[in-house]
């Protein structure tokens, strides 16, 4: 109760009579109707005082369910939350004026509960069931649910049957789980349809149905079962085309699929609707990423390496090959697979060492001339009629022919392309613009060039198109007579010089040209020679190709920095004049052999096109020189002390193979990157001899490339050492020049590199040809392979550092003068296999490098995880497939040996591979397991393993079976296509039959994974 008190007093005499105070007027507002949970406001601000003002408000609830404290109860407005349910509430407002008079008013609030409708439950009777007569079938409705309550009752009943067979016996009809016992003897297959009705806590109902297909008179049989394991590091693309998978999203950088390192991913990409797959991985510098395309004839997939922000680091953009990039520095990257055209499954190999595998593709990081392409046309349909490029294509690519012989079948032609805006209009402009935004200006130019090559390759008249690579001299220079040339005694030259020679050889030095007036070379040079540098920005002589191979220098800062005069140094090693009291000696000085100087390298190096023109000219092939300047006959030897990164192009290989066919031995430098020569051209081409470099101590020079492409070693020097103690660096000493400040002086100096090793070999082969001019490149190669030309300075036989050994001039000349009768000889390439932690498949080639009559008696290995499949040849020669199976092996490195036994010599190939730790996340996607009749190769049954990998075939009749399992990423109805996962019992390359004979066969366990082959080097040579 509220008590209002006021004071009373008498008036003074003689004063005026006071005015009476008028009480205020309280207004609590109109009555309200609200819903439970509403915020309610009571407003008394309409209250007033006719002769003063309101000084106080007091609100009180005087009836109904308490709403608790009112917010701001001493203010004109108050609020509260309406309680749940139906309620009638009354509130009183008391106002006080400035003379303490007061007044009250009330307001009613009617609260209504919300009206809620009950949602019906959802009945789920489970998947349809297949069973045999007499089976007890379980009915399971536990997946039924109620979104706004509970399922309180279940009721099963037979709803329908499609024959007159007896009804099954139903038990537990009022439970979530019931059973139906099928009739024991049936004459007709019958579908029984059961109805499940569920009732929720408010009485609502819902029904679902399940079919039981009962098999009458089932065929009895056995069960064949086992389990499938997935190898560590195996992963699957989130959005393959298999309809039995739920697609995920990895179509943008923001949704990149995280991958371990190392890993092999099976995926699928299609230009029309699944154009991009993005992955992220933490990678180390020097690791490789390889994209192995399942159907290269049907699809063109490209590979991009990007930063997390989307900036392009590198890309591999070929049109008919697999792709690969090398990680430049450690970090986390985005890997993009892009379908340029068509559709294909693929394998993406992440994290293997780049030096272990050969490179593929044309990369933005490769050194090539932006805006230039090499094109070879297909043969003309009619004689003398040259196939023409599509005019629209030429216009859109801004193509201008720079060089090449028109109308010459198979000739390589050089074009300048300027696509830019034209390419944007011709190709996918949106893709083009989005691509180049992530690239540097130099990458953009290269991207335009490689994109142009893709478009050219699709032209019906084009046999192939390639970038015009930049090749560079492979030497490193230092400062000043035969006493300094330690490298000649190292290869037995003094003894070779004691021999007499009946003939002479011509050796083409295809390089920077030669200082024709150098006093130690002027008498050693052929009257022939040529300059094939077509670009004046490279040539430094202000003209195009001509018959002047003099070296004007290659300095990028003439007069300040000295030119390399690289070709002069190489030529001096081959044939510098001796016994003339100046300088040093050349390998062939004792003969009348001549150097044929060919200039193809200038400022910054040279291009593939110019180098190939030089090789073609020297080896008697069609080339750009005019008829009067053609050689009368091919040279005997070509020296190529140059190279660049990348695979051996189609154009290159064709030229080198033709040179060998014309009787020319081509000797090339392995490269100075300290890496696998398989990733450098022309060292990785077939039909050449690739030379690695050794130092004074006959150890592999620190800079020298290595690998299965190495054929032979020679002195290349090491200028960081002075192991001979003469006070000079242990480089290779030869003829040189100095063009600073304003004119050329002739001198001698030290360089080191595989460029310096190569002319030692070219010179020795020149001695051999001078001793016996009937020798062919095949003769020389056979002598090399069989050890007649070298000193074996590494592991016995072929090795990846020195090839077949260190070249020895004395042995070579002896072999040339008295050609050995080479017996049958077994050679196996490569001589070592390292599968790393991902690769599973490789090949070995067994060949006879001697006389006929070689037979392989047997091939064996010493580890159960290794399977070697032999070729179907009578002599055992040919290609062997080697497969490793990591299932069941402990983590770590495992080693094995493959032994080849022949009727002449035996060879052991060392094999190694590693197994990663257990990988609970390993996954290849939806797997189909097929039971195959071993006699007919027909598929008998297909099942899917459960979540733990277990599978089971039932009703299997007696007989012999094979079990194969795999994925179907491209949804073509066939498993195990290239780019898909695959496996077989007991292993993919050692399949065993399962004999079923009256009893179940269990424990047929095997691995299903991505079977990935690697190419450790180019084809065996």
Catalytic center residues: 511, 566, 755
* 518, 521, 526, 527 alpha-carbon torsion, rounded to 10°: 30
CA-nearest of 808, 825, 605 to 713 is 808
Strand partners, 476: 752
Query: How many Cβ atoms are within 10 Å of 602's Cβ, its own excluded?
Result: 25
Strands (E), 16-74: 32-35, 39-43, 54-63
Spatial contact of 964 and 994, defined as CB atoms under 8 Å apart: no
Query: How many Cβ atoms are within 10 Å of 33's Cβ, its own excluded?
Result: 10
From residue 504, give the alpha-carbon distance in Å to each of 323, 331, 589, 766: 46, 57, 11, 8
User: What does the alpha-carbon distance between residue 312 and residue 99 come to, in Å, rounded to a whole number?
Assistant: 83
Token digits for 969?
């990423």
Question: Rounded to the nearest 5 degrees, what angle is found at the Cα of 317, between the Cα atoms of 311 and 321?
Answer: 145
Strands (E), 44-135: 54-63, 77-81, 87-97, 102-112, 129-132
- The secondary structure element, H or E, covering residue 538 is helix 536-539
Helix/strand/coil (H, E, C) string of 411-447? Answer: CEEEEECCCHHHHHHHCCHHHHHHHHCCCCHHHHHHH
| Burial environment of residue 556 by CB neighbours within 10 A (0 to 12, 13 to 18, 19 or more) | exposed
Helix/strand/coil (H, E, C) string of 141-158? Answer: CCCCECCCCCEEEEEEEE
Residue 341 half-sphere exposure toward CB, CA atoms < 13 A: 15
- The secondary structure element, H or E, covering residue 844 is strand 841-848
User: What does the alpha-carbon distance between residue 512 and residue 570 come to, in Å, rounded to a whole number?
Assistant: 10
Supply φ then ψ for residue 610, to 5 degrees.
-65, -40
Helix (H, G, I), strand (E, B) or coil at 487: helix
Strand partners, 34: 111
> For strand 959-966 and strand 928-933, is the pairing parallel, antiparallel, or unpaired?
antiparallel
User: What does the alpha-carbon distance between residue 292 and residue 1012 come to, in Å, rounded to a whole number?
Assistant: 8
Q: Let me know how long the chain is.
A: 1021
Spatial contact of 199 and 123, defined as CB atoms under 8 Å apart: no
> For strand 866-869 and strand 856-861, is the pairing parallel, antiparallel, or unpaired?
unpaired
Supply φ then ψ for residue 441, to 5 degrees.
-65, -40
């Amino acid at each position: 109760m509220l008590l209002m008190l006021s004071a009373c007093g008498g008036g003074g005499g003689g004063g005026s009579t006071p005015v009476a105070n008028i009480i205020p007027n309280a207004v609590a507002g109109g009555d309200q109707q609200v819903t439970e949970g509403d915020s309610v406001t009571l407003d008394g601000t309409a209250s007033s005082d006719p002769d003063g003002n309101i000084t106080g408000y007091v609100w009180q609830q005087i009836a109904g369910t308490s709403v608790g404290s009112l917010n701001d109860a001493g203010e004109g407005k108050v609020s509260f939350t309406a309680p749940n349910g139906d309620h009638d509430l009354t509130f009183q407002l008391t106002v006080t004026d400035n003379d303490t008079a007061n007044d009250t008013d009330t307001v009613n609030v009617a609260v209504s509960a919300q009206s809620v409708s009950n949602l019906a439950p959802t009945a789920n009777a489970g998947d349809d069931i297949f069973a045999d007569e007499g089976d007890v079938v379980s009915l399971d409705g536990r997946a039924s649910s109620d979104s706004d309550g509970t399922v309180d009752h279940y009721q099963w009943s037979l709803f329908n049957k499609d024959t007159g067979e007896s009804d099954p016996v139903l038990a537990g009809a009022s439970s979530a789980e019931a059973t139906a016992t099928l009739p024991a003897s049936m004459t007709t297959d019958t579908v029984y349809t059961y109805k499940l009705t569920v009732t929720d806590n408010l009485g609502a109902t819902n029904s679902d149905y399940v079919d039981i297909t009962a098999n009458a008179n089932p065929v009895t049989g056995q069960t064949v079962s086992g389990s499938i394991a997935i190898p560590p590091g195996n992963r699957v693309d989130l959005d393959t085309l298999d309809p039995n998978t739920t697609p995920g999203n990895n179509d943008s950088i923001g949704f990149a699929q995280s991958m371990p390192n190392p890993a092999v991913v099976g995926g699928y990409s299609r230009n029309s609707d699944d154009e991009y797959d993005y992955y992220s991985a933490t990678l180390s510098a020097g690791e490789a990423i390889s994209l192995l395309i399942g159907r290269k004839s049907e699809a063109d997939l490209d590979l991009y390496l990007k930063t997390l922000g989307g900036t392009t680091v590198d890309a591999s953009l070929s049109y008919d090959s697999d792709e690969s990039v090398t990680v430049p520095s450690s970090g986390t990257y985005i890997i993009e697979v892009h379908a340029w055209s068509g559709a294909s499954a693929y394998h993406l190999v992440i994290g293997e060492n780049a030096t272990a595998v050969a490179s593929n593709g044309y990369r933005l990081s490769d050194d090539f001339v932006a805006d230039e392409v090499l094109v070879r046309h297909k043969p003309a349909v009619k004689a003398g009629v040259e196939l023409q490029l599509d005019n629209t294509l030429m216009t859109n690519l801004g193509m201008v022919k720079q060089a090449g012989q028109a109308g010459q079948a198979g000739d390589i032609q050089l074009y300048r392309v300027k696509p830019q805006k034209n390419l944007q209009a011709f190709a996918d402009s949106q893709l083009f613009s989005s691509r180049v935004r992530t690239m540097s200006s130099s990458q953009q130019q290269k991207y335009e060039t490689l994109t142009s090559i893709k478009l050219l390759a699709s032209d019906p008249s084009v046999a192939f198109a390639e970038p015009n690579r930049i090749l560079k001299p492979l030497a490193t220079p230092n400062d000043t007579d035969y006493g300094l040339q330690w490298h000649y005694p190292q290869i037995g030259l003094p003894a070779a010089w004691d021999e007499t020679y009946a003939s002479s050889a011509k050796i083409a030095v295809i390089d920077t040209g030669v200082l024709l007036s150098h006093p130690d070379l002027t008498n050693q040079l052929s009257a022939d020679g040529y300059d094939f540098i077509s670009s004046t920005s490279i040539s430094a002589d202000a003209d195009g190709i001509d018959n002047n191979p003099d070296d004007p220098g290659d300095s990028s800062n003439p007069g300040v920095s000295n030119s390399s005069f690289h070709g002069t140094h190489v030529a001096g090693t081959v044939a510098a004049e001796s016994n003339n009291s100046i300088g040093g000696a050349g390998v062939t000085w004792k003969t009348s052999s001549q150097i044929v100087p060919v200039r193809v390298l200038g400022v910054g190096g040279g291009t593939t096109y110019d180098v190939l023109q030089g090789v073609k000219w020297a080896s008697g092939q069609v080339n750009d020189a005019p008829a009067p300047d053609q050689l009368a006959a091919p040279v005997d030897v070509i020296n190529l002390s140059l190279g660049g990164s990348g695979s051996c192009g189609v154009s290159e290989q064709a030229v080198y193979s033709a040179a060998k066919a014309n009787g020319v031995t081509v000797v090339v430098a392995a490269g100075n990157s300290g890496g696998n020569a398989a990733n450098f051209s022309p060292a990785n081409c077939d039909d050449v001899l690739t030379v690695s470099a050794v130092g004074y101590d006959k150890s592999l020079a620190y800079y020298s490339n290595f690998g299965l492409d190495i054929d032979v070693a020679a002195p290349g020097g090491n200028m960081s050492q002075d192991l001979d103690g003469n006070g000079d660096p242990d480089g290779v000493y030869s003829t040189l020049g100095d063009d600073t400040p304003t004119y050329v002086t002739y001198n001698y100096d030290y360089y080191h590199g595989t460029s310096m090793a190569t002319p030692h070999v070219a010179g020795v082969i020149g001695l051999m040809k001078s001793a016996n001019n009937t020798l062919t490149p095949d003769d020389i190669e056979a002598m090399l392979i069989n050890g007649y030309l070298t000193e074996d300075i590494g592991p016995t036989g072929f090795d990846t550092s020195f090839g077949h050994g260190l070249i020895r001039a004395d042995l070579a000349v002896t072999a040339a003068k008295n050609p050995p009768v080479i017996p049958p000889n077994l050679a196996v390439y490569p001589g070592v296999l390292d599968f790393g932690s991902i690769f599973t498949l490789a090949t070995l080639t067994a060949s006879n490098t001697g006389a006929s009559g070689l037979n392989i008696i047997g091939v064996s290995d010493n580890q159960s995880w290794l399977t070697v499949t032999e070729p179907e040849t009578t002599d055992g020669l040919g290609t062997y497939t080697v497969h490793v199976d990591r299932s069941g092996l402990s983590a770590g490195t495992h080693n094995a040996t493959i032994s080849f036994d022949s009727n002449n010599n035996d060879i052991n190939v060392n094999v190694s591979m590693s197994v990663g730790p257990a990988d609970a996340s390993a996954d290849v996607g939806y797997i189909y397991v097929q039971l195959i009749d071993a006699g007919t190769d027909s598929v008998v049954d297909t099942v899917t393993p459960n979540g733990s990998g277990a599978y089971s075939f039932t009703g299997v009749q007696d007989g012999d079976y094979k079990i194969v399992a795999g994925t179907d990423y491209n949804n073509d109805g066939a498993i195990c296509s290239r780019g898909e996962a695959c496996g077989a019992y007991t292993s993919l390359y050692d399949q065993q039959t399962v004999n079923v004979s009256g009893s179940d066969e269990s424990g047929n366990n095997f691995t299903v994974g991505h079977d990935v082959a690697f190419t450790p080097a180019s084809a065996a040579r």
